[in-house]
Amino acid sequence: MAIRLRSIRRDADFVEAAARAFGGRPVVANERCGSWYVAPGRRAGSAYFKSTDGHAGQWNFSARRLNLQLLPLIGRHDGCVLVDSTRRGKRMPDALSKTVPIWCCVLNRVLFPADADGDGDGDGEEEEKKDRADAAARRYHHALYTPPGVVSPSEHARAEARIPEHVAALRALGVLDAAALRRHISKPLRPVWVTPDSPLASSSPEEESAGVGAVIFEDAHPVICCTSSRRVDPDDDDDDDGGGGGGEAGYVQGAADDAENWALGLTAPLFWAHADALLAAPEAELPDLVRALVAADRTAAAAAAVETREEEEDDALCVAGCIYVRRLPASRDDDDKAMTTTMTCTVALVPRTTDRDTWARGPARIEVGLGAQPKLAGRRLRAALGVICDFVGAYLAQRRRQQQQSDDDGSGSGGGDGDGLKRVLVACETGRDLSVGVALALACRFLDDGGRYCPGAAAATAGGGRGVTKALVRTRLARIMLASPDANPSRTTLQSVNSYLMG
């Protein structure tokens, strides 16, 4: 573990140097492991570009990981530095060499189409020349750019051949407001790559303090893809997790990968909070120190949650119509007032296994115990969704009847759907995985395309009797991800939702 932590710190030093070289542009961690290599004071945000989307033969554009939260940051600072690492033997991860370039290319074609009309200024021949020049520039930025020497010409060509289908799929989602997004970025996106082998220029103190470095492209915003870890030859036995000695020995490429297998519960924030103590600890004492820090952190987090859980109710995020998601309070015995009011139906996905006969805790609260292991809980979600949806459906139907009766009596607000009368709050341990999956299932079952409540199965069939389709699920998921960019439902969770909705 000591060698891994030292390797992480070394790689983080390179990231800091790279950020300075690019004028202090904001640094974005590509999750899951990117956060380990970025000091908290430098990190400006997170992104979710998966290497699997860039693997040979895949070359995907992910509709559930649109990463549009990066556009305002890129526009304000003329680019960003996106940090990731890769395992032993590779120069850079597929996320940076292919997934991000595909993302840039697809967004460029959608936001800056080659056939866009001119602005109408000028007249005659001059305006026609300007329009032709603008169209040519757009076509230039519609090309796919990948790092030479990392992506072969044949693979590049095959990946670029798939761009039109990605563009069509993104447009078909119907969730993007291109005009609104163009208010964030005035120019197309262009990937640039930097690794520990790259020469780094120096920036002026004024550029770094302003967070805007020297112009890289006059006609594009740079997305600087920074590989934090230096490449280690797979045949070099000196550079190993168990290596020692001087010089370059004892370095682990991509040391933060698969932290669940080596970190003993240590997380990136906890590492940075105690980096000096961890790096100074003798190897033999390090595991006990990590366990003590992890235990203390969990105790502190639980105490903080107890003190603030009523305030956290306001942190619930609306992801679709009347459906909200949030993290669970850490305390098991929080009262209903903290998470449930007479106006709210709460679905709590708790990290322990419970019998389904105990799930219903009242007419407006259900606690579903799927276990503490995320992957297993995601699989168990398939069987639980029927119970959850029936429970929420009954609540919404009851609220609809009560509201209609109130309106008939003249005592209601006459507000139609009246979302204030029916708020569905879904909470899980992270607020980003299981809760998002349940929210997706509920949105497909009970909401129409405008996010309005449709009794029974009307929401699924309102578009012409088609029922729940893959296209509908993709669109609802894309809207949820736009509302909650930090949401990160696992593949297992989404498979359970798809299986429940479509059989």
pLDDT digits (tens, 9 = 90+) for 99-113: 999 999 999 999 998
| Predicted confidence band of residue 249 (pLDDT cuts 50, 70, 90) | low
pLDDT digits (tens, 9 = 90+) for 274-328: 999 999 999 999 999 999 999 998 888 766 655 555 555 557 899 999 999 999 8
Q: Is 328 within 8 Å of 487 (Cβ atoms)?
A: no
Q: Which amino acid, residue 164?
A: P
The whole-chain average pLDDT of the chain stands at 84
Q: What is the pLDDT of residue 457?
A: 52
pLDDT digits (tens, 9 = 90+) for 432-450: 999 999 999 999 999 988 8
DSSP class of residue 230 equals P
pLDDT digits (tens, 9 = 90+) for 452-496: 888 755 455 554 445 788 989 999 999 999 999 889 899 999 999
What phi and psi values does residue 303 have, to the nearest 5 degrees? -65, -40
Distance CA 497, CA 503 (A): 9
| Predicted confidence band of residue 343 (pLDDT cuts 50, 70, 90) | confident
Please identify, in words, the CATH class of the domain defined by 316-502. alpha beta
Instruction: Give DSSP secondary structure letters for 306-330.
Output: HHHHHHHGGG-EEEETTEEEEEPPS
Domain extent listing, the chain: 2-227, 281-315, 316-502
Taking the C-alpha atoms of 425, 431, 433 and 435 in order, what is their torsion angle to the nearest 10 degrees?
A: -10
Distance CA 321, CA 396 (A): 13
- Is the pLDDT at 235 greater than 90, yes or no? no
Distance CA 264, CA 280 (A): 18
| Predicted confidence band of residue 196 (pLDDT cuts 50, 70, 90) | very high
Q: Which residues contact 183 (CB under 8 A, 6 or more apart)?
A: none
Q: What is the pLDDT of residue 214?
A: 73
Separation in Å, CA 103 to CA 19, 48, 144, 304, 315: 22, 11, 9, 39, 30
Q: What is the pLDDT of residue 342?
A: 55
Between 34-48, 331-345, 386-400, the lowest mean confidence (pLDDT) is in 331-345
| Predicted confidence band of residue 421 (pLDDT cuts 50, 70, 90) | low
- Is the pLDDT at 244 greater than 50, yes or no? no
pLDDT, greater one: 242 or 37: 37
Instruction: Report which listed range, 322-331, 375-384, 422-431, is most confident.
Output: 375-384
What percentage of the chain reaches a pLDDT higher than 90? Answer: 58
Tokens of 54: 């860039």
Longest distance between any two alpha carbons in the chain, whole Å: 84
Q: What angle do CA 426, 428, 432 make, to 5 degrees?
A: 90
